[in-house]
Chain A
Amino acid sequence: MTKIETTKLTIKELSEALQKGEVSSVEITSAHLNQIKKVDGEINAFLAMNESALKEAENSDKRRKEGKTLSEFDGIPVGIKDVILTRGIETTAASKMLKGYLPLEDATVVKKLKEAGMIILGKNNCDAWAHGGSTENSDFGPTKNPHDASRVPGGSSGGSAAAVAADEVPLSIGTDTGGSIRQPAGFCGVVGMKPTYGLVSRYGLIAMASSLDCPGPITKTVYDNALILSLIAGLDKKDATSSGSQVKDYLKDIEKGVKGLKIGLPKEYFGDGLGAEVKKTVMAAVNNLKKQGTKIVDISLPNTKYGIATYYIIQPAEVSSNLGRYDGIKYGHSAKGSKNLVDHYFESRTKGLGDEAKRRIMLGTYVLSAGYYDAYYKKAMRVRALIKKDFEEAFKKCDVIIGPTSPTTAFKFGAHQNDPLAMYLEDAYTVNANLAGIPSLAMPCGKDSEGLPIGMQIMGPHFSEDLLFRVGRVYEKR
């Protein structure tokens, strides 16, 4: 047997190598664990490890020998963002509030990966509670960008994107509330899908903003991403907002090409504030797709400018409600020696929650409080409807929309220190897809003069993931 460098392989290649008997799950799993050992001291993409990963790999190999393989993914390793519950593996949402917390259940996405025989290697670092765009807000130290350790990997799923970029895992499941899969995928040069809201169950996510949260795959290739979305999508009776009827086979038409498709370029995504190199590179990708038979149409999403303002009302409002459960009673950090119950709440929460979580809780409580609800929250829900309408109008003129994922490439650590608003504005191109609930596929489209990855995103109407993969795949194979 020739020695294969399995950490460089895609899920598709690993699956084929396993099926041909060229490599075992134990070999693949060991190689990835070795890679983690080698690079993660610097990268810090992993928080907790699954101690029984190798044992599970042995079981996978045994199943394969007996002809009882669970799926084409049986024996392939995966990382899970730390806001997603994994039974028996410490899950903290990268917050000291949940240090030592051992979930009793697997999130539905995790359950589906395990039922397919995939091996969970460990938990990926992120901004605490998924609040942030750089992983600098993790209570357990930031993740570093594998392309340049002086720069952030993006966030909040920064550990997931960095782990895939650094060959520590071929797949990590992230979550995207305002760009948290796409922006780090862009910064790290990997592929990330934020699916349509409700396509992938939220059951078992440590909720951030429930009307916006979407779990999705981060992978090395568009093809791998489609493979994994097919596995994790679908109705879940444990998530009343999940949508079952719209699940498609994302591989069926993936090689069909793009001839005749119309790509919309929203002028609001290419205006002031967009870095020149990012703009040039995304436009080069668009021109490549034009050569491959698409038609380019100029469109407008006039309410884009209200995106961040709307998002930073709705999201903290939901955060303030969702983080209300961390009271030091059922689990999590619990204050000692409080006088009475209400003091116990105050003391547990004040010590256990970090600055950014507190800022969002305070902001959310403010916009939901009597006298401000109509002016902020209710108004934001109306503007959200406008933003959704923008996309509906645009998709009458085009099949998909392409734009940059972020205004710049990965920034230096500390660049937005002491300025929360500047950090929030990083999400200017990503939040609108969340507000409108539409899917968006982020993928690399080149590098800047410093060698840092540049990302573009392909957006489509609700439940058009198959189309996004088709377009992404054509570009990937260019």
Chain B
Amino acid sequence: MIRVTKQDVDQISYLARLKISEKEFKKYQDELSAILEYADLINKADVSGIKPMVNITGLSDVVRNDEKHPSELLRDEVLSNAPDKKDGYIKVKSVLN
């Protein structure tokens, strides 16, 4: 059963910033549909009265004091892996054409 439509693939690939070629649409529709069909199994579980669990060991709201600390890294180091940079800044393409 194919329930992930071409429009779905179009929409999620846009949200995920991935380009999908024309022939890949069918592949994603098929694969995602098969996996989601399997995942439907969870609808058989009786979760009445069960709350969604976010943290498994029961920690919540772990915060630190709002204090500044010196960086352990130098600016040049931080920029060392950036593919494009200028004058100590990361350079990006224009947002608007």
Partner of A361, one of B8, B18, B53, B62: B18
**Cβ distance B64 to chain A, nearest Cβ, rounded Å:** 7
**Cβ distance B5 to chain A, nearest Cβ, rounded Å:** 11
Q: Is B17 an interface residue (CB 8 A)?
A: yes
Partner of B53, one of A342, A369, A384: A384
Are A363 and B93 in contact (CB-based, < 8 A)? no
Q: Look across to chain A and name the residue whose beta carbon is closest to the beta carbon of B63.
A: A240
Residues in B whose Cβ lies below 8 Å from that of A350: 18-19
**Cβ distance B57 to chain A, nearest Cβ, rounded Å:** 5
Residues in A whose Cβ lies below 8 Å from that of B90: 329-330
Residues in B whose Cβ lies below 8 Å from that of A313: 39, 42
**Cβ distance B80 to chain A, nearest Cβ, rounded Å:** 7
Q: Is A1 an interface residue (CB 8 A)?
A: no
Contact with B along A237-270 (1 / 0, CB 8 A): 1001101000000000000000000000000000
Q: Is B7 an interface residue (CB 8 A)?
A: no
Q: Is A383 an interface residue (CB 8 A)?
A: yes
Q: Is A411 an interface residue (CB 8 A)?
A: no
Partner of A102, one of B9, B81, B92, B93: B81
Are B16 and A365 in contact (CB-based, < 8 A)? yes
Residues in B whose Cβ lies below 8 Å from that of A376: 36, 39
**Cβ distance A93 to chain B, nearest Cβ, rounded Å:** 14
Contact with A along B49-69 (1 / 0, CB 8 A): 011111111010011100000
Are B38 and A382 in contact (CB-based, < 8 A)? no
Q: Is B95 an interface residue (CB 8 A)?
A: yes
**Cβ distance A35 to chain B, nearest Cβ, rounded Å:** 32
Q: Is B40 an interface residue (CB 8 A)?
A: yes
Contact with A along B5-37 (1 / 0, CB 8 A): 000110111011111000000001001101110
Given that A340-B97, A381-B52 are contacting pairs, would A309 and B57 also be in contact in the complex, using a CB cutoff of 8 Å?
no
Q: Look across to chain A and name the residue whose beta carbon is closest to the beta carbon of B34.
A: A421
Are A309 and B93 in contact (CB-based, < 8 A)? no
Q: Is B1 an interface residue (CB 8 A)?
A: no
The CA-CA distance from A249 to B6 in the complex, in Å, is 55
Are A211 and B54 in contact (CB-based, < 8 A)? yes
**Cβ distance B4 to chain A, nearest Cβ, rounded Å:** 7
Are B93 and A344 in contact (CB-based, < 8 A)? yes
The CA-CA distance from A437 to B54 in the complex, in Å, is 11
Residues in B whose Cβ lies below 8 Å from that of A341: 92-95
Are B62 and A241 in contact (CB-based, < 8 A)? yes
Given that A362-B16, A369-B12, A386-B45 are contacting pairs, would A340 and B95 also be in contact in the complex, using a CB cutoff of 8 Å?
yes
- Residues of chain B touching chain A, judged by Cβ–Cβ distance below 8 Å, are 4, 8-9, 11-13, 15-19, 28, 31-32, 34-36, 38-47, 50-57, 59, 62-64, 72-73, 77-78, 80-84, 90, 92-97
- Residues of chain A touching chain B, judged by Cβ–Cβ distance below 8 Å, are 101-102, 104-105, 196-198, 211, 237, 240-241, 243, 303, 305-306, 308-310, 312-313, 320, 324, 327-332, 334, 338-347, 349-350, 353, 358-359, 361-363, 365-366, 369, 376, 378-386, 388-389, 420-421, 424, 435-437, 462
Pairs A–B under 8 Å by Cβ, sample size 27:
A104-B73, A104-B81, A105-B72, A105-B73, A312-B38, A331-B82, A338-B93, A339-B97, A340-B94, A341-B95, A345-B17, A349-B16, A349-B17, A349-B18, A359-B31, A362-B16, A362-B18, A376-B39, A379-B43, A380-B42, A382-B47, A382-B50, A383-B45, A383-B47, A384-B53, A385-B53, A437-B57
